[in-house]
C-alpha cells in the first residue's frame, strides 16, 4: 500500500485503467472463446448432423419415388411409358446411390457404421429385387411382377426403418450439441456477468481508494490554504508526505509557508528600517531646510554687503576723480606760485586742508576696502559652509535614493500589497535624484563664487595697498604744503618738486581710480552670483521641504505596512 501511495497520480490512474483493460480483455477473450466454440459446434452440427439428416430424408424420398415408379411401371407396361419410367428410375437410383455415398463419407461413429453396413445389405437386396421386378415387367409378367413387388415391401420397410433410426440418431446428436451450446452459452454469460461485476466492483473500489488518496490530502491542503489566506502563518505543516503529485504539493505548501514567514519577517524588519530611515530622513531634511534658510540669510547679507561695497567703491571713484581735479588745480597753482607767493601761501594752506580731507577720505576708503575684503572672506567661509551642507544634502539624497530602491525591491516582493508602497518609493527616489542634482548645481555655483570671491579679495587687497600708497602720497603732499607754508621764500625752488610730486600723485590717483572701477565691477558680479546662490538655496529649501513631506508620507506608509503585517499570525 505504501508503494502504491507513493506512485504518481498518472501511475495510479494507469494502474486502474490497466486493471480495467485486463478485465475487458479477459471478458472479450472469454466471449470470443465461447462464441468461437459455439460457432464451431454449430458448424459441426450442421456438417455432421443436419446435412446428413437432410441427405437421409432426400435418400428416403428417392427410394419412395423409385418404389412408386416401379408400381407405375407394373400398372402401365406400355413400351413408351415404360422407357420413360425406366429412364427416371435409373436417374433416381443414381441420385439415391450418390446420396448414400455422401452419407458414408461423413464422420460416422461405430453405431452409424453398423447402420451403414445394414443399409448397404438391405439396399443391395432391394436393388436385386428391383431388377427382378423390372425384368418381369419387360417379360409382360405383370401379375408375377406385382406379387414380387409386394414381397419387397418388407425389405423396403427395413430400409425406411433403418434410415429413420439413423436420422433420429443424427437429430439426437444435434440436440446434444444444441444443449451443449446452450449450457456453454449460459456458463459464458454467467462468467461474463461475474467477471464484469467483479471488474466493476474492483474498479469502483480501486477508483474510490485512488480518489480518496488524491482528494483527502487535497482537502487537507485546501483547508490549510484557507487558513493561510486568512493570514494564519502558524498553520501546521502538511504531514502527508509521499512522492506523488499530492505529496509534492504538500511539500511545496510547507516550503511556501516557510518562505512566506521568512518574507513577512523580512518585510517587517524592512518596514521598521524604512520607518526609522524615513524619520531620520525627515529630521535630516528639516535640518537641511533650517541650514538652507540660514544659508539664504547669509547669502542675502552677503548680497547686501556687496551692494554696499559697490556703492562705497563708486564713492571712492568719485573721490579719486575729485582728487585728480584737485591735483590738476595744484599743478596750475604751482605754475603761478612765483608770481603770487602770498596767494601761494594761502593756497598752500587751503591745499593742506584739502590734503587732510583727502587723507581722511583715503583712510575711510582703506577702511571700506578692508571691510569689503572681510565681508568677501566671510562670503568665502559661508560658501564653504554651504558646500559642506550641500555635501550633506548630496549624501542624504544618495541614502534616500538607496532606501527608495530597497523599499521598491521589498514592495515588489510584497506583491499586490506593496504596489502603493512601490509608487511612494519611486517618488521618493525621484525626489532624491532631483535633490542630488540640485545639490550638485549649488556646489558648482558655490565653487564659482568661492573662486570669484578669492579674486575679489585679491583685488581688494591690492586696492587697499594702492589706497595706502595714495594716503602716503597725500601725506607727503601735506608735508610739502606745510614746508611751503613754513618757507614761502623757498616756494619757487620747490615748485618743480611739487609739480613732480603732483604728477606722481595724479598717476597714483588714476591707478587707484582704475582699481576702484575694477573693484566695483567685481562687487557687482559678486552681487549677481550671490543672488544666483540665493535663488539656488531657495530651490534647495523647496526640495528639502518636498523631501520632508515625502519622508512623512513614507513614514505613514511604513506604519500602514506594519499594521498590515501585524494581521499575520506566526
Burial 370-394 (b: 16+ CB within 10 A, else e): eebbebbeebbebbeebbebbeebb
Q: Average of pLDDT values for 492-501? A: 60
Q: What angle do CA 187, 193, 199 make, to 5 degrees?
A: 130
The predicted pLDDT at position 192 comes to: 77
The secondary structure of 491-513 as a DSSP string is HHHHHHHHHHHHHHHHHHHHHHH
Q: Examine the pLDDT at 481 and tell me if it is beyond 80.
A: no
Within a domain: residue 237?
no
Within a domain: residue 504?
yes
The predicted pLDDT at position 438 comes to: 73
The predicted pLDDT at position 397 comes to: 64
> Do 461 and 547 reside in the same domain of the chain?
yes
The boundaries of the domain holding residue 547 are 289-410+438-565
**Distance in angstroms (rounded) separating the CA atoms of residues 41 and 267:** 84
How far is residue 110 from each of residues 44, 113, 115, 159, 338, measured CA to CA in Å?
18, 5, 9, 19, 197
**Distance in angstroms (rounded) separating the CA atoms of residues 179 and 183:** 6
> How many other CB atoms are found less than 10 A from the CB of residue 517?
15
**Distance in angstroms (rounded) separating the CA atoms of residues 152 and 171:** 28
Residue 441: pLDDT band with limits 50, 70, 90: confident
> Do 305 and 201 reside in the same domain of the chain?
no
**Distance in angstroms (rounded) separating the CA atoms of residues 114 and 525:** 153
Q: What angle do CA 323, 329, 334 make, to 5 degrees?
A: 125
pTM for the full predicted model: 0.35
> Do 298 and 207 reside in the same domain of the chain?
no
User: Which domain-ending residue is among 185, 202, 222?
Assistant: 222
Q: Average of pLDDT values for 100-116? A: 82
Within a domain: residue 498?
yes
The phi and psi torsions of 569 (rounded to 5 degrees) equal -115, 130
Q: How far apart are the first and last CA of the chain?
A: 36
> Do 196 and 338 reside in the same domain of the chain?
no
> Do 336 and 470 reside in the same domain of the chain?
yes
Helix and strand numbers, DSSP H then E, in the chain = 11, 0
> Do 202 and 80 reside in the same domain of the chain?
yes
The predicted pLDDT at position 206 comes to: 76
Q: Over the chain, what is the mean pLDDT?
A: 72
> Do 218 and 310 reside in the same domain of the chain?
no
CA neighbours closer than 13 Å in the CB half-sphere of residue 132: 15
Helical (H) or strand (E) element with 416 = none
Q: Average of pLDDT values for 88-92? A: 86
Q: Average of pLDDT values for 62-81? A: 82
* pLDDT digit string, tens, across residues 195-224: 778 878 887 887 777 777 677 777 777 787
Q: Average of pLDDT values for 162-178? A: 83
* Nearest of 552, 562, 559 to residue 284 by alpha carbon: 552
User: Which domain-ending residue is among 205, 222, 239?
Assistant: 222
> Do 210 and 324 reside in the same domain of the chain?
no
Q: Average of pLDDT values for 107-112? A: 81
* pLDDT digit string, tens, across residues 511-566: 655 755 665 676 567 566 656 656 665 776 676 677 667 667 766 766 776 676 66
Within a domain: residue 279?
no
Contact 298, 533 (CB under 8 A): no
The predicted pLDDT at position 189 comes to: 84
User: Which domain-ending residue is among 171, 200, 222?
Assistant: 222
Q: Average of pLDDT values for 74-79? A: 80
Q: Average of pLDDT values for 266-292? A: 66
- Which range among 15-19, 127-131, 312-316, 452-456 has the greatest average pLDDT? 127-131
* pLDDT digit string, tens, across residues 114-138: 888 888 888 888 888 888 888 888 8
Ranking 9-13, 104-108, 171-175 by mean pLDDT, the lowest is 9-13
Within a domain: residue 132?
yes
The predicted pLDDT at position 567 comes to: 61
Ranking 62-76, 271-285, 305-319 by mean pLDDT, the lowest is 305-319
The CATH number given to whatever domain includes residue 361 is 1.10.287
> Do 297 and 184 reside in the same domain of the chain?
no
**Distance in angstroms (rounded) separating the CA atoms of residues 238 and 257:** 10
Q: Examine the pLDDT at 495 and tell me if it is beyond 70.
A: no
Could you give the number of structural domains in the chain? 2
> Do 91 and 177 reside in the same domain of the chain?
yes
DSSP character at residue 231:
T
> Do 199 and 97 reside in the same domain of the chain?
yes
Amino acid at each position: 500500500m505504501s508503494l502504491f501511495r507513493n506512485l504518481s497520480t498518472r501511475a495510479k490512474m494507469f494502474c486502474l485503467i490497466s486493471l480495467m483493460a485486463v478485465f475487458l480483455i479477459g471478458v472479450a477473450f472469454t466471449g470470443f472463446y465461447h462464441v468461437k466454440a459455439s460457432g464451431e459446434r454449430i458448424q459441426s452440427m450442421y456438417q455432421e448432423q443436419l446435412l446428413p439428416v437432410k441427405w437421409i430424408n432426400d435418400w428416403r424420398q428417392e427410394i419412395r419415388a423409385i418404389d412408386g415408379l416401379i408400381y407405375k411401371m407394373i400398372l402401365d407396361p406400355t413400351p413408351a411409358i415404360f422407357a420413360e419410367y425406366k429412364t427416371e428410375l435409373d436417374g433416381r437410383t443414381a441420385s439415391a446411390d450418390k446420396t448414400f455415398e455422401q452419407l458414408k463419407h461423413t464422420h460416422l461413429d461405430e453405431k452409424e457404421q453398423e447402420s451403414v453396413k445394414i443399409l448397404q445389405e438391405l439396399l443391395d437386396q432391394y436393388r436385386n429385387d428391383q431388377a427382378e421386378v423390372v425384368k418381369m415387367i419387360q417379360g409382360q409378367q405383370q401379375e408375377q411382377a406385382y406379387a414380387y413387388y409386394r414381397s419387397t415391401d418388407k425389405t423396403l420397410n427395413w430400409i425406411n426403418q433403418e434410415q429413420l433410426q439413423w436420422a433420429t440418431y443424427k437429430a439426437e446428436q444435434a440436440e446434444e450439441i444444441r444443449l451443449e451450446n446452450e449450457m456453454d452459452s449460459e456458463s459464458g454469460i454467467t462468467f461474463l456477468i461475474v467477471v464484469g461485476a467483479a471488474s466493476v466492483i474492483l474498479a469502483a473500489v480501486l477508483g474510490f481508494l485512488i480518489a480518496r488518496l488524491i482528494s483527502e490530502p487535497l482537502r487537507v491542503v485546501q483547508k490549510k490554504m484557507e487558513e493561510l489566506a486568512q493570514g494564519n502563518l502558524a498553520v501546521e505543516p502538511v504531514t502527508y508526505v509521499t512522492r506523488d503529485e499530492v505529496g509534492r504539493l504538500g511539500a511545496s505548501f510547507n516550503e511556501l509557508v516557510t518562505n512566506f514567514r521568512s518574507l513577512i519577517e523580512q518585510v517587517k524588519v524592512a518596514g521598521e528600517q524604512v520607518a526609522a530611515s524615513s524619520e531620520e530622513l525627515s529630521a535630516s531634511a528639516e535640518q537641511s531646510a533650517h541650514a538652507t534658510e540660514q544659508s539664504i540669510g547669509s547669502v542675502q547679507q552677503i548680497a547686501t554687503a556687496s551692494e554696499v561695497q559697490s556703492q562705497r567703491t563708486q564713492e571712492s571713484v568719485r573721490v579719486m576723480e575729485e582728487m585728480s581735479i584737485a591735483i590738476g588745480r595744484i599743478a596750475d597753482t604751482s605754475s603761478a606760485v612765483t608770481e603770487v607767493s602770498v596767494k601761494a601761501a594761502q593756497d598752500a594752506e587751503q591745499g593742506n586742508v584739502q590734503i587732510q580731507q583727502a587723507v581722511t577720505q583715503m583712510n575711510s576708503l582703506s577702511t571700506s576696502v578692508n571691510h569689503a575684503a572681510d565681508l568677501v572672506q566671510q562670503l568665502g567661509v559661508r560658501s564653504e559652509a554651504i558646500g559642506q551642507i550641500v555635501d550633506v544634502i548630496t549624501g542624504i539624497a544618495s541614502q534616500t535614493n538607496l532606501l527608495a530602491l530597497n523599499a521598491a525591491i521589498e514592495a515588489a516582493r510584497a506583491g499586490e500589497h506593496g504596489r502603493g508602497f512601490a509608487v511612494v518609493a519611486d517618488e521618493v527616489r525621484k525626489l532624491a535624484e532631483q535633490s542630488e542634482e540640485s545639490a550638485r548645481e549649488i556646489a558648482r555655483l558655490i565653487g564659482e563664487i568661492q573662486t570669484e570671491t578669492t579674486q575679489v579679495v585679491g583685488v581688494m587687497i591690492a586696492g587697499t595697498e594702492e589706497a595706502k600708497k595714495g594716503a602716503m602720497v597725500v601725506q607727503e603732499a601735506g608735508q610739502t604744503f606745510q614746508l611751503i607754508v613754513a618757507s614761502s621764500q623757498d616756494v619757487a625752488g620747490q615748485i618743480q618738486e611739487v609739480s613732480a610730486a603732483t604728477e606722481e600723485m595724479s598717476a597714483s590717483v588714476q591707478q587707484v581710480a582704475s582699481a576702484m572701477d575694477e573693484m566695483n565691477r567685481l562687487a557687482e558680479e559678486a552681487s549677481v552670483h550671490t543672488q544666483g546662490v540665493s535663488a539656488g538655496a531657495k530651490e534647495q529649501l523647496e526640495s528639502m521641504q518636498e523631501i520632508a513631506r515625502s519622508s512623512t508620507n513614507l513614514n505613514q506608509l511604513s506604519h500602514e505596512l506594519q499594521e498590515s503585517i501585524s494581521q499575520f499570525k506566526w
